Structure 1
Amino acid sequence: MDETAAPWARSLLRTSLRYAKSPLSPVDVVITGFTDDPEKVEYIRILIYHILHGRDIVACYNLVLSVVLAGFTLRHFITKRRDQRRWKERCCSPSSSKQADKPASSSSSSTLQGIQSPPDSVKLDVDLERQPLLGSAARPNRGSLSNTLQAWLMYQPQPVPFINRTLPPNETSLFVLAYVALNVFFQFFQSPLHPKYFFAFADRIGYVFIVNLPLLYLLAAKNQPLSFLTGYSYESLNIFHRRVGELMCFAALAHTVCFVAWQVWCCPAWLLDGNLWDFLTGQRNLLGMVALIACGLLYATSLASFRARCYELFLARPYVLASLAIFLVDRLVWRRSLKSESFTADMEVLEDGQTLLLSANWSMSHQPDQPVYSWLRYSIRHGWKPMDHVFVTIPSLGRTHSLQTHPFTIASAAPRHHDAPEAGTPQHAWLSLLIRARDGFTHDLLEYAHSHSNVRVRLDGPYGSPGALEMLRACDSKVLIAGGSGIAVVFPLAWALAQHPAPDDAPGRRDIYLLWVVHSRSHLSWLPQERLDELAEAGIQITIPGPTAEAGRPDIAGYLAELGTRAQMRRQKLGVVVSGPDNLNRAARNACALAVRDGTKIRLSVEKFGW
């Protein structure tokens, strides 16, 4: 064995990988002065070629992602433009002037037992889990193959047995599988699988990890452009953030295992330098092990079971620098400097004793006419849109809480000028947050509220996507379903639809339905009765079935099935927004899926709880 082989080979390998600008062919490397063994020289040549060629292949990964994003962006803006055109057509409809002066329907009320609205409304007092998916409502004939495919994509499977893990809808699962398949393709495409070139295979796994770093941080940033480009809210995109993180953790582990396997079994004897312990304790490998442990800890603390128990604790060079830049711009420049405002907020502990109403009001700030400045400096002081949320920081709770930010959906109606620019800029804004006490921050805030009536808060935001409201306005019939504190998401949408409708949605003929499912009667204090009365007076048909603790779960599937059948008979498009716990969301999604399969035109937006 040539005792000088290992040092010269490793030195040449490092030099080639550091300075090479493009993949090398086996004959492009001229090696002289190192060794007289042509086989070793040829081996190093081929190994360098495979490593650099693999890195060039993986470098195209983000280009492919950009093309995919461009496709989603094009689809979103086409849909958005179509919805806006539909909204304008409805506003300019000749029949609108004939309906504008009609009085509100006297059949609408917001009593606990539900509305007296349509004579054939569904009785919502049965156990959801024991009912067929569409209850007893009659089904129309099954639709086309296209409808069946759309229904399958919309359908959400039952949780995984035994571990009770909630599954996403089929369309989300399919997209996640496509993402994983893309990464597998870049890992194996023209990758050498012969054991003696296993070093190149392990190196490519490391590059797969690195090229996903910018995507991971982009999906984690609250100010990500992806929401604007695709129309999906941060909450909807969060599942992809988690899947990207999980794939990266797996890639980091596989990278480590493959390099250990290379050192133990695949590396030629003449290229070895010391034993396995020497390999593991080398400077570069120690740093790699630290990174692997960090990834493992991040993955463990991101698990839902860990987050539920320990909520507070949870809180290659060009790619790493890009990720760091995204993180710093989001956290330091945007969120801390441009988007953060401080207010004195009132606190009220509601009837159930576990929910806090935090509210603040202020005079609206006038925005400069410069579009760039308005976009950069836009904060909660200038208003918000339905379904927006803010990050709350309360330094008064202690040093630890002064460094934490906690997201909450804005439960009050958005200022008028966001929904109707022609109405002018309002003079005042009223903001309310419904905060359910659990552990950590929310528990401490509830205890603080028992002895204080107000507190100084810092609000970072607003953040959100107007896609759901735009979708509802483009539909003929609208259905809003809230489960418990999901009313914080649904009420602002209902208010926007009630206060700024299309002219052909005049009171007395609006097909707008609001269903609010609560667990106990005390939860009704979360939304003042006068707000519900105002919605009912505006023509929204409100149903609040008996609390589930008393009457069991309502027949969500039957409720949607009847409305879907009615919309199909009238040749209407039905828009559905649902926000609640997983069981309610899944029941509503799957009811919509079957209605789509049967030919009903439905557009659905699901805003789930959790983070």
Structure 2
Amino acid sequence: MANATATAAAQAKAAKAKATKLAKILRQRNNERSAKFFAAAMVGIMVIFILIHWTRIAFKTYERRSSGKATFLRFPVRVTRAARSVLVRKLPLFPSTGHALVFVGYLAATITVTFTKMDWSTPLNNLGKRLGWISVANLGLVTFLALKNTPLAFLTAYSYERLNVLHRIAGYSLIVSMILHTTIYLAGDIRQGKLSNLREDDQVVGIIAGFLMLLSVALAVLVRKMRYEIFYVTHVVLFIVIMILVGMHRPDFAKKTVIGVIVIGSLWFADRVIRSLRTLFFSFGNTATLTPLSHGGTRVVLRKSPGRAVSGTHCFLWIPGVRALESHPFTITSTKPLELVVAAYDGFTRDLHAAAVKNPGQTLKASIDGPYGNIPNFANFTKVVLIAGGSGASFTVGIAIDLLRKLGTSQTTTIEFIWTVREPEMLEWFSEQLKELTDSPLVNVRLFSTRGSTSDSTLVSSSDEEKNSSTDPLPSSKNEHDIEKQLASPISSTDMVFSPQGGRPDIAAIVDEIAEKAEDNDRIAVAACGPDSLMQVTRSTVAKNIKVNGPSIELHVEQFGW
């Protein structure tokens, strides 16, 4: 009898152990699947963007070739215009409603995969583990959105800098999931009396990784705008250390977490190798000639440039004679030769200007990585409105000059060029280009200055004399130079100084007037680069003018800040 009882107890114990093992295997499988489903959801969102992008290209190409007579396109055009009039609008915390909508989809996918097929038998530990997997999945997304070389730039026309806001949102979500993973798992250990687990090596490195993630976010919030270079270096170093610690936190290959970490790290490393090789290639026989400009500007002319370079895109400039271990992004103003105009702010840009002032016209060894960014083909539009604040003209000047040269004798496209500066002397940065623009019958140049001249130069008027009141305050000098993506152009001729109108332009009134006077079959492109306030007014005005019936209006924004 006793033997039978013992046997039954042993069998029950074995059955329980087997059930526990099977449950553990099932939880592991479901956790792995949650990460896979999260990745699939993110890929799905990207595919939607790709389909929308290429469908719009196909529609616009057909409509242009049919001279607007394709009647069957009227309904889809009306639908897309109605949607775009909402999606391009600015929302609090987001650059646009479209970005907010992507975030809602991302959040819905994250919540769904977190709670789907969850084992609630021991809810704290199991939910904590699931959140750990979600954290690793988010780490992969954060890394992918930071890569400079991915197929997204070609497939969606959204290169890395336009995805940066999503990179930051995913980063904040990673921190939230990591904190929940830690606190819930800790609560489970406290309830089960297993706090001694925290002294295990893999738990210690996990805790350190969590604190470093918090440090990385703190630096992003507190330091990024004030000292970008310090933020960037610490951000990269912390990322490498965090990846190593996360791998050590779950080093068992059978549980596959470390495999995911290796894949993520490999993607980041491959991107770095590609960028380094490109920089090395363009370093052979390459030099940069530096010329100082007024009010902290520096003209940089490179001897060699990539064949794919286009005015309005940007590249990373490396000049070891200024700072050997740093490269920084600047907009390309001209490609033959490749020219950049850099506004001095801090760090590299300040040292670059100091080097130009110390020895004007000096030639230093240099290289570039790029180009990056996607610019619409503005020659396909009948009206192009270019709006810039401060050094944002590095973007719009390059586009305007490039477009004029593409058009040649064609009269199919007209250009409205609007530039607001603080001091009138800043206009000398692009005096040669401004003269070319004002001499063209296709261009209407409107120049504005928010401050008076700081020199005694005699000013020769070249701007449209129509007066415009301002509803768009420009930020301070510090904010205006917040990004190091402030770029280039040729030096101005000293005998040509342009006189801007005082005050700030009424961007809303200008864009409204252009849209009202346009024909229904006109295609209008509005491209802008500058501070947040200017971009916000531009966005809201363009959104208001996107109507179901009327001219087609597209918006392209290059905003200060990374």
TM-score (ref. length: structure 2)? 0.77
Deviation at 1:43, TM superposition (A): 5.4
Deviation at 1:538, TM superposition (A): 3.7
Q: Is this contact kept in 2: 1:510–1:539, CA < 8 A?
A: no
For residues 152-551 of structure 1, the aligned pairs below 5 Å read 152-157=86-91, 167-193=94-120, 196-265=122-191, 267=192, 272-273=193-194, 276=195, 278-303=196-221, 305-314=222-231, 315=233, 316-332=257-273, 334-340=274-280, 341-342=282-283, 343-352=286-295, 354-362=296-304, 380-397=305-322, 401-412=323-334, 414=335, 429-453=336-360, 454-466=362-374, 468-470=375-377, 472-501=378-407, 506-507=410-411, 510-528=413-431, 530-550=432-452, 551=502
* 1:592 corresponds to: 542
Q: Is this contact kept in 1: 2:90–2:540, CA < 8 A?
A: yes
Q: Is this contact kept in 2: 1:411–1:487, CA < 8 A?
A: no
Amino acid at match of 1:256: T
The secondary structure found in structure 2 opposite 1:391 is strand
The secondary structure found in structure 2 opposite 1:492 is helix
Deviation at 1:86, TM superposition (A): 6.0
Q: Is this contact kept in 2: 1:548–1:554, CA < 8 A?
A: no
The secondary structure found in structure 2 opposite 1:56 is helix
* 1:113 corresponds to: none
Cα separation, partners in 2 of 1:586 and 1:452, compared to 1, 3 Å: same
Higher mean C-alpha deviation, range 450-459 or range 323-332: 450-459
Deviation at 1:227, TM superposition (A): 0.9
* 1:57 corresponds to: 34
Query: Would you say how many aligned residue pairs link Structure 1 and Structure 2?
Result: 468
Deviation at 1:455, TM superposition (A): 4.1
Deviation at 1:465, TM superposition (A): 3.5
- 1: CA distance between counterparts of 2:406 and 2:65? 13
Amino acid at match of 2:90: Q
Q: Is this contact kept in 1: 2:311–2:395, CA < 8 A?
A: yes
Deviation at 1:607, TM superposition (A): 0.9
Q: Is this contact kept in 2: 1:199–1:259, CA < 8 A?
A: yes
- 1: CA distance between counterparts of 2:368 and 2:449? 35
For residues 39-78 of structure 1, the aligned pairs below 5 Å read 42=19, 45-78=22-55
The secondary structure found in structure 2 opposite 1:206 is helix
Amino acid at match of 1:386: S
Deviations 1:219-265 (A, max 9, x none): 11111221111111322111111111111122112111111011112
* 2:464 corresponds to: none
Cα separation, partners in 2 of 1:248 and 1:484, compared to 1, 3 Å: same
Q: Is this contact kept in 2: 1:577–1:606, CA < 8 A?
A: yes
- 2: CA distance between counterparts of 1:70 and 1:596? 25
Q: Is this contact kept in 2: 1:515–1:543, CA < 8 A?
A: yes
The secondary structure found in structure 1 opposite 2:526 is strand
Q: Is this contact kept in 2: 1:483–1:518, CA < 8 A?
A: yes
Q: Is this contact kept in 2: 1:228–1:465, CA < 8 A?
A: no
Deviation at 1:450, TM superposition (A): 2.1
Deviations 1:256-313 (A, max 9, x none): 1111011112x3xxxx55xx2x22221111010121122112212222x411222222
Deviation at 1:149, TM superposition (A): 4.1
The secondary structure found in structure 1 opposite 2:366 is strand
- 2: CA distance between counterparts of 1:512 and 1:259? 60
Deviation at 1:153, TM superposition (A): 1.6
2:515 equivalent to 1:564: yes
Q: Is this contact kept in 2: 1:348–1:357, CA < 8 A?
A: yes
The Cα RMSD (Å) is 2.8
The secondary structure found in structure 1 opposite 2:13 is coil
Cα separation, partners in 2 of 1:44 and 1:381, compared to 1, 3 Å: closer
* 2:457 corresponds to: none
- 2: CA distance between counterparts of 1:54 and 1:511? 57
The secondary structure found in structure 2 opposite 1:58 is helix
Deviations 1:172-225 (A, max 9, x none): 11111211221111111232445x232121111111111233322221111122
Listed as ranges, the gaps of 5+ residues in structure 1 are 1-31, 91-142, 160-165, 363-379, 415-428
Deviations 1:3-61 (A, max 9, x none): xxxxxxxxxxxxxxxxxxxxxxxxxxxxx979838667655654553343232233222
Deviation at 1:537, TM superposition (A): 3.5
Match of 2:531 among 578, 581, 585: 581
- 2: CA distance between counterparts of 1:511 and 1:395? 42
Listed as ranges, the gaps of 5+ residues in structure 2 are 1-8, 68-76, 234-256, 453-501
Deviations 1:365-419 (A, max 9, x none): xxxxxxxxxxxxxxx343511222111222223xxx311111111122x3xxxxx
- 2: CA distance between counterparts of 1:406 and 1:61? 33
Q: Is this contact kept in 2: 1:575–1:604, CA < 8 A?
A: yes
Instruction: Pick 1 or 2: higher relative contact order, CA cutoff 8 A, min separation 6.
Output: 1
Deviation at 1:473, TM superposition (A): 3.1
Q: Is this contact kept in 2: 1:484–1:580, CA < 8 A?
A: yes
- 2: CA distance between counterparts of 1:458 and 1:345? 6
- 2: CA distance between counterparts of 1:360 and 1:458? 8
The secondary structure found in structure 2 opposite 1:402 is coil
